[in-house]
């Protein structure tokens, strides 16, 4: 009798371990699915933010006959766009500002606005043309954006640059150092050699050096 009871207990423990393993596997699947849904919800917020900003920029343009200055989105939650927008939105996950690039040398003619979607399979990425190796053509992994007055993926010639790919990234001799200082590199070619992805004609680097995305390595 004792031997039979021991054998039955052994089967019960095995069954318990199998049940625990199944529950753990289901929990992992649930957590992964929840993580995907959270990422997609944040991506939806990002796209909504960009569309909201685009509408606000058009209202601003109608009143000022120009788009806002290059640093207008740098303060997350700021009031710089009032009365058009109560608070300036920023990335819901990183809390960093969205990347705003007025057309270099002709800020009143157009701009590009970028973000990074977490779901790399989001069809919106291909729809705006940011599904290539270089994504949207700007550094730091931006893969989605909106624009006005200029195409989202364009050439430097459209932005006053010297040709070649990219949305007016390399345009002048000034660039942001890693420390966040606008430095004179002598020429745009020197800035390229220094590894800079962005350079500017203006000696204040369009006040973009506070954003790490614009800094040279």
Q: Domain limits of the chain? A: 43-153, 170-217
Contact between 120 and 143 under an 8 Å Cβ cutoff? The reply is yes
* Segment 46-50 mean pLDDT: 95
Retrieve residue 93's tokens.
């996950």
Q: What is the SS3 assignment for 146? A: strand
What digits encode the pLDDT tens for the residues 177-207?
888 899 988 877 777 777 777 777 778 887 8
Tell me which DSSP letter residue 165 carries. Answer: B
HSE value, Cβ hemisphere, 13 Å, CA-based, for 190: 11
d(CA 142, CA 130): 8
d(CA 161, CA 32): 44
Q: What is the SS3 assignment for 200? A: strand
Find residue 100's DSSP bridge partners: 113
Retrieve residue 171's tokens.
């345009």
With a cut of 90, say whether residue 150 has pLDDT above it.
Answer: no
The more confidently predicted of residues 38 and 60 is 60
**pTM above the 0.85 mark?**
no
Pairing of strands 111-115, 144-148: antiparallel
Best-predicted range by mean pLDDT among 4-8, 14-18, 147-151, 186-190?
A: 147-151
With a cut of 50, say whether residue 163 has pLDDT above it.
Answer: no
Q: Which pLDDT score is estimated for 34?
A: 66
Retrieve residue 126's tokens.
């291909």
What digits encode the pLDDT tens for the residues 85-95?
999 999 999 99
Q: Which pLDDT score is estimated for 77?
A: 93
Retrieve residue 189's tokens.
């070619």
The more confidently predicted of residues 211 and 118 is 118
Q: Which pLDDT score is estimated for 165?
A: 31
d(CA 118, CA 1): 61
Distances (CA, A) of 212 to 124, 178, 201: 26, 8, 19
Contact between 42 and 92 under an 8 Å Cβ cutoff? The reply is yes
d(CA 162, CA 127): 27
Mean pLDDT of the chain: 80
């Amino acid at each position: 009798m004792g031997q039979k009871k021991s054998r039955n207990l052994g089967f019960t423990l095995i069954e318990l371990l199998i049940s625990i393993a199944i529950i753990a596997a289901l929990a992992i699947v649930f957590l992964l699915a929840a993580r995907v849904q959270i990422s997609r919800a944040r991506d939806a917020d990002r796209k909504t933010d960009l569309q909201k900003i685009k509408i606000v920029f058009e209202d601003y343009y109608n009143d000022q006959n120009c788009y806002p200055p290059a640093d207008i989105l740098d303060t997350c939650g700021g009031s710089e766009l009032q009365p058009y927008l109560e608070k300036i939105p920023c990335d819901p996950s990183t809390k960093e500002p969205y990347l705003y690039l007025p057309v270099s040398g002709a800020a009143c003619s157009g701009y590009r606005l970028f973000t990074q979607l977490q779901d790399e399979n989001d069809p919106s990425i291909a729809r705006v043309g940011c599904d290539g190796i270089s994504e949207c053509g700007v550094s730091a992994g931006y893969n989605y954006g909106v624009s006005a007055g200029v195409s989202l993926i364009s050439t430097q010639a459209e932005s006053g640059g010297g040709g070649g790919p990219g949305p007016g990234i390399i345009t002048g001799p000034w660039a942001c150092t890693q420390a966040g200082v606008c430095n004179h590199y002598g020429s745009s070619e020197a800035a390229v050699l220094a590894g800079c992805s962005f350079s500017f004609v203006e000696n204040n680097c369009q006040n973009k050096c506070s954003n790490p995305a614009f800094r040279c390595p």
